[in-house]
Structure 1
């Protein structure tokens, strides 16, 4: 046996092994250093909003996993509806509707005067007391018509306390107000079919950060309102699919204590998909 050659082989082998182990050690230390650096760079939601002076001027909603919903527009349940409204002196009688009619137009016998100081409260009280299943409708915003004296107040049905906002602003209940008086109400009827499986819903903090990542809000922005709700993203005539979403009203300015904060529905509104975090701007608030 050539011991000199064998010794050389052993020396080379140990040298290569030592080099490999040294490389592994350096790589591990480098990774741990990188991970530590990345961890130190991660900021909490509170740190980010404080550093960028983003004012969250609203309470963040509670959240939970939720199902997607299928919504179908129903034909007017004439017997129940006519019985309800024909016993109410505020409305003209509901005598007949087409068999396939899906929207009920209610004409008031005489205009209903609203409290000029708190019109929304007056409308809320009227709906709760005089509209079929009125307590199930939630205020979603107002629309000013071309006639400055006429306004439409839009209300939406809810599912387990979460508002069902329609695509394009389609409301389930529209209250028309002329010169401070309710004159006409339009009502739709829907059937709600939840999917069996829930989807994981992101936190409201992550939804706000999604607006920031999409550069929708910038430094000194104000979050006026954030609501966990449903929004329809697929609509086909009488059928719509609704997904859990955050509806956020925000503006890229801050307000001092002396300035009057605008009503939230007068500020830009955005939808954040509560599953994937996609951001959509609402061109027309409803």
Structure 2
């Protein structure tokens, strides 16, 4: 046996094996580095497409959970305690109908809203004239319908809903002089936390979820992002609401769209009114 040739063969075999293992190692390292880069550069990808979002994103939510709630039935006794307003009840028999899922109230005297500090005046009206008015806060103004939408909160977190859902909402109707003349009210009660508490995805992750689903077009802007609760399919009585990020996106043509991202699952829901 020629030990010199055998030794050479072994050396070449080990050299080839070392080269192969080195190539495998560097390929895996490159894949790992690429994944890290992809994860770390969502901000760069947004910037590259001219997609803007607020500098002061909300803090991380460490305790996130589903909640359940029941639609409140307002009673005749509760309504009777409201001062300087009258319930509007067409074709309703007080002897048969003793509770109401939605109140329709008419003020005896219009309530004026000033041009300045309007939201604080709305808060005053809610606290002084609405059943459990402290649970609601100003949401937005519907210019087309000349009304103001106020929405219910739980633990200072907004219960998101569309105007058509109307599960925990006060709609203030105005006259031409910017005075409140009537309102509609619905309310959620017996709110309970369910499921184990988990950390919610971050606000930036919610934006990334929209980006990955192609809901963020070039040169669009996330003008608002807020954490709260939302149900995509409101029920007639018992509600199950998911912890949710609400994002308002303004497109390049200045049209706005509202989106909801489940704060635990990361699923995207687009609000259609």
Q: What's the TM-score bracket when you normalise by the shorter of the two chains?
A: 0.7 to 0.9
Matches within 5 A, 1:45-56: 45-56=42-53
Give yes or no for contact 2:229–2:242 (8 Å, CA) kept in 1: yes
Match of 1:68, SS state, is strand
1:248-284: CA deviation from partner (whole Å, max 9, x where unpaired): 1111229xxxxxxx8xxx8321112212222222222
The alpha carbon displacement at 1:209 in A equals 1.6
The alpha carbon displacement at 1:59 in A equals 3.4
Instruction: State TM-score, norm by structure 1.
Output: 0.76
* Residues 58/282 of structure 1: CA separation in 2 closer, same or farther (3 Å cut): farther
Q: Which whole-Å CA distance do the structure 2 matches of 1:244 and 1:82 have between them?
A: 36
Matches within 5 A, 1:25-64: 25-57=22-54, 59-64=56-61
Among 242, 256, 262, which residue is 1:267 paired with? Answer: 256
Residue 73 of structure 1 corresponds to 71
Q: Which whole-Å CA distance do the structure 2 matches of 1:33 and 1:59 have between them?
A: 34
Match of 2:246, SS state, is strand
The alpha carbon displacement at 1:133 in A equals 1.8
Q: Which whole-Å CA distance do the structure 1 matches of 2:140 and 2:67 have between them?
A: 22
Among 19, 24, 30, which residue is 2:21 paired with? Answer: 24
1:86-115: CA deviation from partner (whole Å, max 9, x where unpaired): xx3x32389x68334222222211222222
Give yes or no for contact 1:92–1:108 (8 Å, CA) kept in 2: yes
CA RMSD of aligned residues (A): 3.4
Q: What residue ranges of structure 2 are gaps of 5+ in the alignment?
A: 89-93
Give yes or no for contact 1:58–1:224 (8 Å, CA) kept in 2: no
Matches within 5 A, 1:33-182: 33-57=30-54, 59-64=56-61, 65-80=63-78, 82-83=80-81, 85=82, 88=83, 90-92=84-86, 98-116=97-115, 119-144=118-143, 150-166=145-161, 169-171=164-166, 172-179=169-176, 180-182=178-180
How many equivalent residue pairs?
263
The alpha carbon displacement at 1:73 in A equals 0.7
Q: Which whole-Å CA distance do the structure 2 matches of 1:167 and 1:17 have between them?
A: 69
Q: Which whole-Å CA distance do the structure 1 matches of 2:231 and 2:11 have between them?
A: 67
Q: Which whole-Å CA distance do the structure 2 matches of 1:249 and 1:110 have between them?
A: 36
1:100-156: CA deviation from partner (whole Å, max 9, x where unpaired): 4222222211222222456544323311332222121022333355xxxx5232222
Residue 222 of structure 1 corresponds to 221
Q: What residue ranges of structure 1 are gaps of 5+ in the alignment?
A: 255-261
**Deviates most, 190-199 or 74-83:** 74-83
Q: Which whole-Å CA distance do the structure 2 matches of 1:40 and 1:250 have between them?
A: 26
Residue 185 of structure 2 corresponds to 187
Q: Which whole-Å CA distance do the structure 2 matches of 1:79 and 1:9 have between them?
A: 103
